Chain A
Amino acid sequence: MYSQKTIKRFKNPRFSGEIKKYSGKGKVGNVQCGDIMEVYIKVKDDIIKDVKFKTYGCIAAIASSDALCEMIKGKTLDQALKLKEQDIVVHLGGLPPIKHHCSVLGVQALREAINDFKKKNKR
């Protein structure tokens, strides 16, 4: 049911972990629904220099988190804000329809992290 790309990412995520001195942090999801995603970003000169995730959830949730991180690393905040759920799905080579909410969570976590950064920097 999962693409090779999704499985590969799930097995060996490159961006799992946390950034101790993060510029912004986003957290979405809940235990009830079985998915929680945390995204940490380190921002310098409006560019996402580093990004990490911590995820509680299924194969799709973990793979979506990792794909998201790769897609926004090195991007400006404006560029990152343009990222859509569908971009993550495409990047993963497709997700089963019932798992599309995992990509939604990824985008939401990213937006929360950027908002958190903006709030802290009064922008």
Chain B
Amino acid sequence: MKINLDNASTTKVDPEVVKTMKPYFTKHFGNASSIHFLGLEAKKALEESRKIIAEIINADPKEIIFTSGGTESNNLALKGMVFSNPNKHIITTKIEHPCIMESCKWLEKQGTRITYLDVDPEGFVNLEQLEKEITQDTILVSIIHGNNEIGTIQNLEKIGEICQKHNTPLHTDACQSFTKIELDVKKQNLSLVTLNAHKIHGPKGIGALYVKKGIRLTPLLHGGGHENKLRSGTENIPAIVGFAKAVQLGMDKKHNQHMSKLRDELIKELLKIPDSKLNGPKGNKRLSNNVNISFKYIEGESIGGLLNAEYITSSTGSACSSKSLEPSHVLLAIGLDHEDAHGSLRLTLSRFNTQKEIDSVIKEIPPIIKKLRKMSPLRR
């Protein structure tokens, strides 16, 4: 049995989504900018998809810009704001996805001041610090909604209130949380929202950025002026249609209930292993599909290696699996020491995981931990 528990990396495309996409490769393959019938077919599909996504986050369709994915949307949000307001100030957090982190580091070099907010041991942003750090120079606050590593869901409504009070635009990276938790750009006072398809059983290479009316962004790609002049390039209609379908399918509440149940079972059973601890919060403030546990005395890449040998996928925040040989910045930000960060195992569910699979994983993991601990010089 092959079991995929690395769904925070990417998900399988729902067969329904593939079916919806197919005609747009070979039949309705037009360029949405063309004025002949093929173009009009494409344009119609484009605008219908835009409407579907806009409605779900309570936005106007005109405020949805299609991009190539989460990384591009995050880059456009940050750099687009800075290029319109150079040498000012951005507030973000210490637990962002690398595409925010690396964009911020780059912008810092170009002269933008960046504040990286602290988080508490469960990964929640320090709201007092946020309020204190906002100045007249702050052009943007960017905070990840559901954390990709430890599953922490930030209180966007509270954060939005603070930003509104200071009249500062708020951006959120909602790649992991989209369709799992309510996103309402009005209720949460959001000015920019990053969305993507491949984390929610849609195709890779397609995402969106919600840009609130009145927000001035400088585009990163210049050309034919597509997407409200914010993102030139012929729209990828099959992917956009697939994205919208994935969103529709993902909104079914039963998926969340199913994943939360399996998640809580995994957490409960894995914490029975001695010297293990959960990273991130418990309950409904955690992404319904995220489990992240640290096992003492052993290293995460090895756990993943033995799981992989049983055809179970996983991931880790250990340095050993990174390109930098540094453990995850998120795990360090919540206060883990190096040993606990190296010993972390992330299991992320999708709606396609079954009870039988989880039962099997619960049986497979304890002997793997035991085997590696037996080899470890840290365990006496």
Q: Which residues of A contact B (CB under 8 A)?
A: 7, 10-11, 13, 16, 27, 31-38, 53-62, 98
Contact = CB atoms under 8 A, between A and B. Distances in A.
A59 B338 contact: no
B302 A59 contact: yes
A11 B318 contact: no
B7 to A, nearest CB: 21
Nearest to A2: B305
Interface size grouping (class) on chain B: 20 to 34
A54 B376 CA distance: 5
A13 B375 contact: yes
Interface stretch (B23-31, B85-93, B167-175, B293-301): B293-301
Contacts of A57: 299, 302, 320
B175 to A, nearest CB: 25
A59 B376 CA distance: 13
Given A7-B305, A11-B309, A58 B320 contact: yes
Contacts of B302: 10, 57-59, 62
A110 to B, nearest CB: 15
Interface string B314-328: 000011110101010
B301 A58 contact: yes
Nearest to A60: B320
Contacts of B309: 7, 11
Contacts of A11: 305-306, 309
Contacts of B298: 56
B377 interface: yes
B342 interface: yes
A107 B323 CA distance: 23
B1 interface: no
B375 A55 contact: yes
Q: Give the 3 A-B residue pairs with the shortest CB-CB distance, closest first.
A: A58-B320, A54-B377, A58-B301
B115 to A, nearest CB: 27
B375 A54 contact: yes
Contact of B318 (A34, A53, A98): A34
A38 B209 CA distance: 51
12 contacts: A7-B305, A31-B342, A33-B319, A34-B325, A34-B342, A37-B377, A55-B375, A56-B299, A56-B378, A57-B320, A59-B320, A62-B302
A90 B375 CA distance: 23
A16 B302 CA distance: 14
Given A33-B325, A34-B338, A62-B302, A56 B318 contact: no
Residue among B299, B321, B325 with max Cβ neighbours from chain A (10 Å): B299
A58 B304 CA distance: 10
Contacts of A7: 305, 309
Contacts of B327: 34
